[in-house]
């Protein structure tokens, strides 16, 4: 692991409960931003909506970053986990030898790849317009590559803290995927058709890109172009699951640059922006997802 100048503290662990918990403790103890914890294994890793993040030891890059985002308006704090996702997307494409744009963002911040269901080929390039449907008429599957979880405390107050946890499946082989998850996940090993992925190189590439992107964010610049281009949710019919467990079927029109929210169209043709919730992509034929 390189000694990145922008990190105030960085430690690597063989096995921990949760890297998010470690970094949260550092921030509580007064450690400045940006701090980094990396683990070969997590026994109590967390995903979105209270899920458990699981991966065999050494099969994934597991890390958490701690920020003190007093330099960013609280309504724009979402740009930090988004920046983390973009930096990892760039680094992972390089480490796995994937074409630029192969790794996409599933709102809000998860990293995915999109595959043509007929051929299994990975698709790269900008998202279609909302009227085109997924992948311009190709039936596709969206497979999760990495989960990103942001946990904040005190935003807008005198001591704001933000922890961003990320776990990206790297050397995990398809035959070893958990049966209950295999249909919706993948790894860099699988996406690259078996190319070995060096975790140290992946981490170093990520940190180098993150330093540049965080510096830009501090200077008031966020990469809206890349953020928009990598959105795989745009143009898709999705189920939106709200914190209370209720859900509704909507069409995703795009993302909102001010709030980071998902702009959706409901069944009555109205539009609104969703900032809290989880989406589930529906595997519908592209023609059924196309606009009218």
What's the pLDDT band for 291 if we cut at 50, 70, 90? very low
**CA dist., res. 280 & res. 272, Å (int):** 18
Q: Give pLDDT, residue 283.
A: 58
**CA dist., res. 277 & res. 238, Å (int):** 12
pLDDT at 129 over 50: no
The rounded mean pLDDT for the chain is: 87
Q: Give pLDDT, residue 171.
A: 87
Give how far the C-alpha of residue 104 lies from the chain's centroid of Cα atoms, to the nearest Å.
Answer: 8
Beta bridge partners of 164: 65, 150
Nearest Cα to 86, choosing from 152, 35, 146? 146
Q: Give pLDDT, residue 183.
A: 85
Computed on alpha carbons and rounded to an integer, the radius of gyration of the chain in Å comes to: 18
Give how far the C-alpha of residue 218 lies from the chain's centroid of Cα atoms, to the nearest Å.
Answer: 21
168 Cβ partners below 8 Å, 6+ apart?
Answer: 60, 61, 88, 92, 111, 145, 146, 188, 202
What's the pLDDT band for 140 if we cut at 50, 70, 90? confident
pTM: 0.88
pLDDT at 33 over 60: yes
Q: Which domains does the chain have, with CATH numbers?
A: 9-111+144-229 (3.30.930.10)
pLDDT at 239 over 60: yes
Give how far the C-alpha of residue 10 lies from the chain's centroid of Cα atoms, to the nearest Å.
Answer: 21
How confident is the model over 274-280, as a mean pLDDT?
Answer: 89
**CA dist., res. 26 & res. 186, Å (int):** 32
**CA dist., res. 82 & res. 75, Å (int):** 13
Query: Model confidence over 153-209: pLDDT tens digits?
Result: 999 999 999 999 999 999 888 888 888 888 889 999 999 999 999 999 999 999 999
Q: At what angle do helices 199-218 and 79-96 cross, to 10 degrees?
A: 140
Provide the terminal-to-terminal Cα distance of the chain, rounded to the nearest Å. 51
What's the pLDDT band for 287 if we cut at 50, 70, 90? very low
Q: Give pLDDT, residue 286.
A: 43
pLDDT at 228 over 70: yes
Give how far the C-alpha of residue 31 lies from the chain's centroid of Cα atoms, to the nearest Å.
Answer: 25
Q: Give pLDDT, residue 123.
A: 62
Query: Model confidence over 108-127: pLDDT tens digits?
Result: 999 999 986 544 565 665 44
pLDDT at 138 over 70: no
pLDDT at 265 over 90: yes
């Amino acid at each position: 692991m390189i000694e990145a100048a922008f990190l105030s503290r960085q430690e690597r662990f063989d096995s921990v409960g949760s890297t998010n918990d470690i970094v949260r403790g550092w921030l509580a103890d007064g450690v400045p931003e940006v701090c980094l914890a990396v683990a070969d294994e997590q026994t109590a890793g967390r995903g979105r909506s209270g899920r458990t993040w699981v991966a065999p030891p050494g099969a994934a890059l597991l890390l958490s970053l701690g920020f003190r985002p007093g330099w960013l308006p609280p309504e724009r704090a979402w740009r930090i986990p988004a920046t983390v996702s973009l930096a990892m997307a760039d680094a992972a494409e390089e480490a796995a030898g994937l074409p630029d744009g192969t790794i996409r963002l599933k709102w809000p911040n998860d990293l995915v790849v999109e595959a043509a269901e007929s051929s299994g080929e990975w698709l790269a390039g900008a998202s279609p317009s909302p009227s085109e449907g997924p992948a311009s008429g190709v039936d596709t599957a969206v497979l999760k590559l990495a989960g990103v979880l942001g946990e904040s405390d005190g935003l807008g107050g005198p001591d704001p803290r933000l922890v961003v946890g990320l776990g990206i499946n790297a050397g995990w082989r398809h035959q070893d995927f958990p049966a209950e998850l295999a249909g919706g996940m993948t790894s860099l090993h699988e996406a690259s058709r078996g190319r070995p992925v060096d975790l140290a190189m992946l981490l170093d590439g990520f940190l180098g890109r993150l330093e540049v992107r965080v510096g830009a964010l501090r200077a008031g610049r966020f990469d809206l172009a890349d953020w928009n281009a990598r959105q795989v949710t745009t143009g898709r019919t999705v189920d939106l699951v709200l914190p209370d467990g209720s859900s509704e079927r909507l069409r995703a029109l795009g993302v909102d640059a001010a709030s980071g929210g998902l702009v959706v169209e409901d069944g009555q043709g109205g539009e609104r922006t969703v900032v809290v919730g989880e989406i589930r992509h529906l595997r519908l034929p592209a023609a059924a997802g196309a606009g009218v």
